[in-house]
Structure 1
Amino acid sequence: MGSFQRTEFGSQAVGGQYYLTFLTGNIGKAGTGICDAGGAQQMAEFGAPIPAPLEKPKKVAPIPTAKLGEYVLAGKPNKINFWYTQTCGIVGQWPNANKVIEAVKSVPFFVVAESIMTPTATYADILLPATTVFEYDSVMAGTRNHYVQLIEKAVEPQGEAKPDYVIFGELAKRLGFGDRYIVPVEQMIKNVLKPSGITYEEIKKGPVCPVKGPWIPFKDGKFYTPTGKAHFFCEPWAAKGFLPVVTYRQVKESPVGNPELAKKYPLMAIQRKVIRNIHTSFQNNEWLDELFAKEPTVQMHTKDAQARGIKQGDKVVVYNDRGQHPTVAIVNDNILPGVLCLENGWWMGQNGFNSSSVLTNDTVEILGTGTSICSTLVDVKKA
């Protein structure tokens, strides 16, 4: 889980990690493992809060995350006339952020359900006030926690705010099928828990682990494959027409992959997570603002800085054909020459700055359809 996977061939990098794990026997035993995802949902089966419709809905062609802006603007695979977004900071977090903003502006009816005025919310035609996590009851049975627990409302919803599931219920009611969606939250929680065998009464008493005793994923090397073994030969890759074993693949947006573009933008930019926020969450927290700098930074090697007349603490602009990102230089030898490291999650317009995502590569990762934000060519100059 890191920058190395957010490239055009990130699946190869992840596959390389797993190869090392299998070859050295670091899986299926206590104290071993490779990925932090899994948790309660890997330990037990859970259901949906609301039963699925009896008739399967028609399939809708998806839009790859990385290409959100481009696809919406081009009307592919379908023209978007109505866009509803919740729990997501698409403006500023998604790749090629300026194009995403163009896409949002191009949609006739853009609705945002949000609890604070985020950059995404500023573009809403209608802004629906949603509750914070402290203002509704729910259940946590996710992929990053080994316990199932009740989320209990701490305070009543403020103003006219409603939980997302209440908003959906009210919309469904107006569209003529509210009976499917207007379900008491206690019943929704029970629907989620039912396949696991954990009861609502149990989690009311406290967090519950779905398994008894020590839990070891893939214990004794037993995997969820037809053979029960780890496969170095990846059949799903072969089915897509790709080489079915891990190999080195050169990403296109890089000095080696695109020498012509590198003449114009010779530096490779990656994004790093920072401790003041999770993606774009908490970025406007006043208490955190007292502890952390009120301006984004970019890390760069001394040689790259000297070649451009940049010193520690200088205000600089990182740029390419997609956009410009004003920031402050951190100059040292703790990063490779030819590489810049940008902060992830800065809000568009916050303290006069913008998101580093205005620069990022919107190529779709070949196998996993993820993003390629960490193979982005840029240059930097003094502001």
Structure 2
Amino acid sequence: LPAATNFEFDDIGHFGLPHGFILARPKIVEPAGECWPDSQILNELGRRLGYAQYFWNDLRECLDDILRPAGMTYDDFKNIGILKGEWEYKSYEKKGFHTPSGKVEIYSQQLKDWGYEPLPSDRGLAGFSDGDSGVAEDYPLIFTSAKDPFYFHSAYRNIPSLRKASPEPIVLVHPETAHRFNIGDEDWVCIETKQGTIRQRAKLNDQIDPRVIILSYGWWFPERKDLELCGWKESNVNVLTNNDPPYEPAIGSTSLRAVPCRIYKTQGF
């Protein structure tokens, strides 16, 4: 550990299956020390747990196996660079959708058969029981989060050109909400939940619901060596959410959005 970076191992690049193409991503440099890519770690783990028949002898064999339906090896693919599938528009008119009925299913019979609710339903607010009278008084707002277009999750905040485009974590606040809590545009504010408190800079936006604030996620500050682990606790949305049960019953996820919160002005850091 740590795992090898994406520049240190051969890989196949894809950007979501609907795009219809894959790219060759050969390694540029050898990994440092004894670092392995994640895929090699998983492959070796499977083999050593006694399931070698389901895995490969090495990562190159895995890549060759993936490309076998295209009639090539990974070495062939590196020379080609890209593989594109044939575009077929409105394929659902011939094949239907990937559901049991072949149709768009607003009501999911499959979910019902598995014992889950077939339609979305309101299960209340994360971390609060039904009828909790303290929600509106203590945490009058709801937060969600949105991806910053300049970064890949928590990565690349050490790149100067990207930090110039998006230098600080931003929380979007409706002007009515800002007035209610005496917050001005570009003020630093605290966002607090039952789990913890972080700081982000407020930006007024009249296109969002006044009851909701929208936070930036994935923030840390690689330049702040004076802070613990480069200030990961200062503005990271994960501080505000709960990783404990109960989880979402169908897929097991934690509550990352629609979390009750409060907001108030503070100082920067």
Is residue 206 from structure 1 mapped to residue 81 from structure 2 by the alignment?
yes
Give me the CA root mean square deviation. 3.5
Q: 1:327 to 1:214 in 2, by over 3 A?
A: same
Secondary structure of 1:186's aligned partner = helix
Residues 26-105 of structure 1: pairs in structure 2 closer than 5 A: none
Cα deviation 1:9-29 (Å, max 9, x = unaligned): xxxxxxxxxxxxxxxxxxxxx
2:22 to 148, 154, 158: 148
Give the TM-score normalised by structure 2. 0.75
1:284 corresponds in structure 2 to 158
Counterpart-to-counterpart distance in 2, 1:182 and 1:213: 32
Instruction: Find out whether 1:346 has 2:219 as its counterpart.
Output: yes
Please tell me whether the aligned partners of residues 139 and 260 of structure 2 are also in contact (alpha carbons under 8 angstroms): yes
Of residues 173, 194, 210 in structure 2, which corresponds to 1:337? 210
Tell me the CA shift for residue 270 of structure 1: 0.7
Paired with 1:176 and 1:375, the residues of 2 have a C-alpha distance of: 40
Amino acid at match of 2:185: Q
- Asked if structure 2 preserves the Cα contact closer than 8 Å seen for 1:361 and 1:375, the reply is no
Distance 2:40 2:100 in 1: 42
What letter matches 2:176 in structure 1? K
Equivalent residue runs for 1:204-243 within 5 Å: 204=78, 205-209=80-84, 211-212=85-86, 214=88, 216-220=90-94, 222-243=96-117
* Distance in 1 separating the partners of 2:101 and 2:21: 30
Name the SS for the 1:288 alignment partner: helix
Q: Which sits farther off after the overlay, 272-281 or 211-220?
A: 211-220
| TM-score computed with the length of structure 1 as normaliser | 0.55
Query: Distance between the aligned counterparts of 1:265 and 1:298, measured in 2?
Result: 16
TM-superposed deviation, 1:323: 0.2
Aligned sequence identity (%): 26
- 275, 278, 292: which is aligned to 2:149? 275
Is 1:313–1:328's contact at 8 Å kept on the other side of the alignment? yes
Between the aligned partners of 1:179 and 1:377, the Cα distance in structure 2 is 47
What is the identity, as a one-letter code, of the residue corresponding to 1:370? S
Paired position in structure 1 for 2:248? 365
CA drift at 1:185: 3.5
How far, CA to CA, are the matches of 1:221 and 1:235 in structure 2?
Answer: 20
Letter in 1 for 2:250: L
| Residue type at the aligned position of 2:97 | F
- C-alpha change, 1:138 and 1:183, in structure 2 (3 Å) is farther
**CA shift for structure 1 position 307:** 1.9
Q: Mind listing any 5+ residue stretches in structure 1 that lack a counterpart?
A: 1-127
Question: Where do 1:370-381 residues align within 5 Å?
Answer: 370-381=253-264
Shift of 1:379: 0.3
Q: How many residues align?
A: 251
Distance 1:275 1:214, change over 3 A: same
- 1:189 and 2:63 correspond: yes
Paired position in structure 2 for 1:42:
none
Distance 1:306 1:358 in 2: 26
Alignment match, 2:197: 324
- For residue 3 of structure 2, the aligned residue among 113, 130, 144 is 130
Measure how far apart 1:179 and its partner are. Answer: 8.0
Higher RCO (CA 8 Å, separation ≥ 6 residues): 1
Q: Residues 291, 252 of structure 1: CA spacing in aligned structure 2 closer, same or farther, 3 A cutoff?
A: closer
Deviation at 1:197, TM superposition (A): 4.0
Deviation at 1:374, TM superposition (A): 1.5
Closer, same or farther: CA 272–168 of 1 in aligned 2, 3 Å: closer
Q: Secondary structure at the match of 1:368?
A: coil
CA distance in 2, matches of 1:367, 1:275: 30
Alignment gaps of 5+ in structure 2: 221-228
Distance 1:370 1:302, change over 3 A: same
Q: Report the alpha carbon displacement of residue 355 of structure 1 after superposing the two structures with TM.
A: 0.3
Using the alignment, how far apart are the partners of 2:213 and 2:31 within structure 1?
43
Opposite residue 342 of structure 1, the aligned amino acid is L
